[in-house]
């Protein structure tokens, strides 16, 4: 028995923020010194490295739980189910609702409880909780839900990935240009056909050297009495770590499924850097001594940036709704979902349509 996706939904903020919004930023290095290059050059380099031209930020009147609820409502509608019939609501995020000038994380109650409230679900047997697993959190939620479904503890789960990173980034760090906001969700249910649905997965956590690659730290600009902490990263280390470890984790998941590489039609990979993703795919296919098929890796990063836990479910929702270029997923396609992020965590999931 495999679990199947019966509905997807996403929330992409309407407000488009092009790279030009950073033209007036004051960027500093990690030693608190102003960068020597002018902003035009910094932005040009950034675009060339990451492929990001624009990103979306949530409007000030919405917070994380509210955008998660919007994506959830769309997934519920798409699945055509009664929300009261959901057994588990699993919400992946990393910073909760970011409120006030001091960017305090409000996770009390959990974002999942807040979303259940917004969805007005009365059923107390619908259990709601959060999962903090870096950017791979949404895929990890899918893995957990699949296990709950397989064990008989649940038959229908709502898995949401929702993040408002625009509220936790350091305005004086050029790496902040990567980040974006958004939410994605899906309904996962007990399926009838063993050849369809979630086939296999792999998850890994690396902490000996890697636990501080993405961390909470001070601004690059030293301001006396500023004790606000921000989302920070060692980008080059993450880049190398991802190239060295994501392809083998993806192979581990695919090998477990028994599905041959030539049956994989799409790879939906976390979007943090276009060149990094291309290099990961290159190394992945090299492990099978196989040529990379055209159009295997749909990209949303150019227009949406890195919305963390929301990236993969949003990508899936866009493709299933025929809203991403020429990309389609049809009955019979095998796809791989993969992610890497704070932890450092990596996961990959193989799904058969």
> Which pair of tokens denotes residue 112?
């999942």
239 lies in the site for ligand COA, by CB under 6 A: yes
Task: Kindly give the pairing relationship between strand 88-92 and strand 156-164.
Answer: parallel
Give the shortest CB-233-to-ligand COA separation in angstroms. 5
Q: Kindly report the number of other CB atoms within 10 A of residue 283's CB atom.
A: 18
Is 174 a binding residue for ligand COA by CB under 6 A? The answer is yes
For residue 327, the minimal CB distance to ligand COA (Å) is 22
Size of the site for ligand COA (CB under 6 A): 18
46 binds ligand COA, rule: CB under 6 A:
yes
Which token pair is 70?
A: 């919007």
Nearest alpha carbon to residue 301 among 320, 322, 318 = 318
CB-based contact 152:212 (threshold 8 Å): no
* CB 19, min distance to ligand COA, A: 10
- Residue 60 CA to residue 82 CA, distance in Å, equals 31
HEC profile of 288-317? CCCCCCCCCCCCCHHHHCECHHHHHHHHHH
Neighbours of 7 (CB within 10 A): 21
Helix (H, G, I), strand (E, B) or coil at 205: strand
Could you tell me the two tokens for 1? 């028995």
Position 235 contacts ligand COA (CB under 6 A): yes
Per the listing, tokens 């969700």 go with 185
Least distance from C-beta 81 to ligand COA, angstroms? 31
Check residue 310 for interaction with ligand COA (CB under 6 A).
no
Of 181 and 189, which has the nearer Cβ to ligand COA? 181
Indicate whether 236 belongs to the interface with ligand COA (CB under 6 A). yes
Q: Which residue is nearest to ligand COA (CB)?
A: 235
Task: For residue 137, state whether it binds ligand COA (rule: CB under 6 A).
Answer: no
182 lies in the site for ligand COA, by CB under 6 A: no
Alpha helix (H) residue ranges in 51-152: 64-79, 111-118, 137-151
**Per CB under 6 A, does 238 bind ligand COA?**
yes
Please report how close the Cβ of residue 238 comes to ligand COA at its closest, in angstroms. Answer: 4
**198 makes contact with ligand COA (CB under 6 A):** no
Q: Which of positions 83-102 make contact with ligand COA (CB under 6 A)? A: none
- From 300, 327, 309, 321, select the one nearest 53 (Cα to Cα): 300
Q: Of the listed pieces 44-52, 63-71, 195-203, 317-325, which binds ligand COA according to CB under 6 A?
A: 44-52
From 55-63, 78-86, 104-112, 232-240, span contacting ligand COA (CB under 6 A): 232-240
Q: Does 52 bind ligand COA (CB under 6 A)?
A: no
Residue 49 binds to ligand COA (criterion: CB under 6 A): yes
Tell me how many degrees the CA angle 180-304-169 measures, rounded to the nearest 5: 15
Q: Residue 49 or 296: which CB sits closer to ligand COA? A: 49
Interaction of residue 45 with ligand COA, rule CB under 6 A: yes
Task: Say if strands 127-131 and 88-92 run parallel, antiparallel, or are unpaired.
Answer: parallel
d(CA 135, CA 41): 29
How far apart are the C-alpha atoms of 337 and 353, rounded to whole Å?
A: 13
**Least distance (Å) between residue 24 CB and ligand COA:** 16
Residue numbers 270-309 binding ligand COA by CB under 6 A: 272-273, 276, 306
102: number of Cβ within 10 Å: 9
The span of 54-62, 233-241, 243-251, 327-335 binding ligand COA (CB under 6 A) equals: 233-241
Interface ranges with ligand COA (CB under 6 A): 42, 45-46, 49-50, 135, 174-175, 233, 235-236, 238-239, 272-273, 276, 306, 341
């Amino acid at each position: 028995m495999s679990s199947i996706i019966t509905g997807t939904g996403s929330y992409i903020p309407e407000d488009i923020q092009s790279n030009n919004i950073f033209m007036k930023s004051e960027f500093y290095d990690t030693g608190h010194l102003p960068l020597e290059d002018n902003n035009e050059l910094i932005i040009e380099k950034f675009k060339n490295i990451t492929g990001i031209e624009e990103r979306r930020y949530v409007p000030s009147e919405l917070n994380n739980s509210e955008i998660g609820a919007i994506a959830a409502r769309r997934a519920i509608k798409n699945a055509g189910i009664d929300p009261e019939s959901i057994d588990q609501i699993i919400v992946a995020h990393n910073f909760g609702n970011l409120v006030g000038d001091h960017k305090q994380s409000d996770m009390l109650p959990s974002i999942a409880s807040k979303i259940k409230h917004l969805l007005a679900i009365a059923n107390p047997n619908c259990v709601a909780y959060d999962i903090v697993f870096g950017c791979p959190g949404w895929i990890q939620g899918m893995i957990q839900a699949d296990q709950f479904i397989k064990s008989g503890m649940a038959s229908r789960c709502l898995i949401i990935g929702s993040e408002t990173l625009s509220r936790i980034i350091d305005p004086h760090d050029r790496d902040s240009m990567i980040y974006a906001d958004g939410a994605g969700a899906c309904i996962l249910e007990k399926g009838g056909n063993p050849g369809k649905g979630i086939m296999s997965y792999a998850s890994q956590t690396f902490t000996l050297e890697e636990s501080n690659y993405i961390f909470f730290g001070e601004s690059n600009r030293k301001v006396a009495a500023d004790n606000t902490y921000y989302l920070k990263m060692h980008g080059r280390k993450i880049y190398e770590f991802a190239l060295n470890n994501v392809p083998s984790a993806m192979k581990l998941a695919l090998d477990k499924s028994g599905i041959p590489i030539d049956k994989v039609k799409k790879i939906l990979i976390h979007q943090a850097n276009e060149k990094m993703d291309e290099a990961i795919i290159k190394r992945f296919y090299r492990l099978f001594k196989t040529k990379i098929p055209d159009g295997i890796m749909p990209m949303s990063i150019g227009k949406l940036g890195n919305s963390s836990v929301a990236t993969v479910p949003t990508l899936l929702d866009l493709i299933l709704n025929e809203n991403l270029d020429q990309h389609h997923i049809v009955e019979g396609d095998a796809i791989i979902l993969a992610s890497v992020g704070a932890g450092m965590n990596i996961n990959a999931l193989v799904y058969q349509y």
